[in-house]
């Protein structure tokens, strides 16, 4: 049954955007709503998959029949993804993960001081979860697992996307052009899905559900056959 083509599979989806706390009242965040990741989770569940949705700060209704793991920061998201993906057939990293986090967390609210022009905030790199999952070609931690990344680009979308796919080592990369009506917070999306095999699948402007279904079509083609 084509409509239930993910039956017997476990898939892991990250959604939303991480928040990296500076002090009890402030964080470094981003504009990801989580809608694309939630659409991916709903679509996979409808196609028969067991779904773990690692959700970073998304204020969205919980999809029925999906295991939700709420997280806040990139480090928490990494822990949850590594745990959930141990037995996963596919992992889709739709979350917007902060590249940097504050080096220290101030337990009291950071104060501005007279004459101080630069805030005393140092940042350190966060782990790149997608690159860690994908490994470089031959040393994928779990061979056969299909690993999918997302990239939001503002210029040279295809060239930057292709370079990013190679750098991260993932099987598929969904490249979005960030624009006025598109992507962040919107119900619609427009993308090109790049494959490590050189394929390019354009997905016309439309509901995030349609992009989700195309992603699972491409993942399903790449899954090792059920034994
Ligand atoms: O490098 P960039 O942030 O553009 O890559 C985006 C992709 O990498 C997304 O799939 C995102 O979930 C993932 N990512 C990650 N860990 C990071 C940064 C991004 O897994 N620290």
Q: ipTM score of the complex? A: 0.97
Q: Contact, 9 vs 50, CB < 8 A? A: yes
pLDDT at 154 over 90: no
148 lines ligand 1 (CB under 6 A): no
Percent of the chain with pLDDT over 90: 80
Annotated catalytic residues are: 30
Which among 16, 31, 130, 157 is the best mutation to test ligand 1's pocket, defined by most ligand atoms within 8 Å of the CB?
A: 130
Task: Determine if residue 130 is labeled as part of a ligand binding site.
Answer: yes
150 lines ligand 1 (CB under 6 A): yes
Q: Where does 2-98+123-222 sit in CATH, by number?
A: 3.40.50.10300
* Own/partner pairs, 199-203, CB within 8 angstroms, 24+ separation: 200/158
Task: Determine if residue 119 is labeled as part of a ligand binding site.
Answer: no
**Residue 141 confidence class, pLDDT cut points 50, 70, 90:** confident
Domain boundaries, the chain: 2-98+123-222
Q: What is the pLDDT of residue 156?
A: 92
Partnered with residue 96 across adjacent β-strands are 17
Which token pair is 35?
A: 């809608």
Q: What is the pLDDT of residue 200?
A: 97
Q: Contact, 101 vs 124, CB < 8 A? A: yes
Distance 93 CA to ligand 1 centre (A): 7
Handedness of CA 52, 99, 197, 82 (dihedral sign): negative
Mean pLDDT of 132-148: 84
Prediction pTM value: 0.95
Q: What are phi and psi of 14, to 5 degrees?
A: -100, 145
């Amino acid at each position: 049954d084509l409509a239930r083509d993910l039956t017997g599979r476990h898939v892991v989806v990250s959604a939303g955007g991480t928040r990296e706390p500076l002090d009890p009242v402030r964080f470094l965040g981003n504009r990801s709503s989580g809608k694309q990741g939630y659409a991916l989770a709903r679509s996979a569940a409808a196609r028969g998959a067991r779904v773990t949705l690692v959700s970073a700060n998304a204020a969205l209704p919980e999809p029925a029949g999906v295991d939700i793991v709420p997280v806040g920061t990139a480090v928490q998201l990494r822990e949850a993804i590594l745990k959930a993906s141990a037995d996963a057939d596919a992992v889709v990293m739709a979350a917007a993960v902060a590249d940097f986090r504050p080096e220290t967390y101030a337990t009291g609210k950071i104060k501005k001081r007279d004459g101080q022009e630069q805030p005393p905030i140092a940042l350190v790199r966060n782990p790149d979860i997608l690159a860690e999952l994908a490994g470089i070609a031959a040393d994928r931690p779990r061979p056969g697992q299909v690993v999918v990344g997302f990239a939001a680009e503002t210029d040279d979308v295809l060239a930057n996307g292709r370079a990013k796919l190679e750098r991260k080592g993932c099987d598929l990369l969904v490249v979005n052009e960030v624009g006025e009506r598109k992507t962040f917070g919107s119900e619609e999306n427009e993308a090109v899905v790049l494959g490590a095999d050189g394929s390019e699948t354009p997905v016309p402007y439309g509901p995030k559900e349609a992009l989700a279904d195309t992603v699972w079509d491409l993942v399903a083609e790449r899954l090792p056959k059920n034994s």
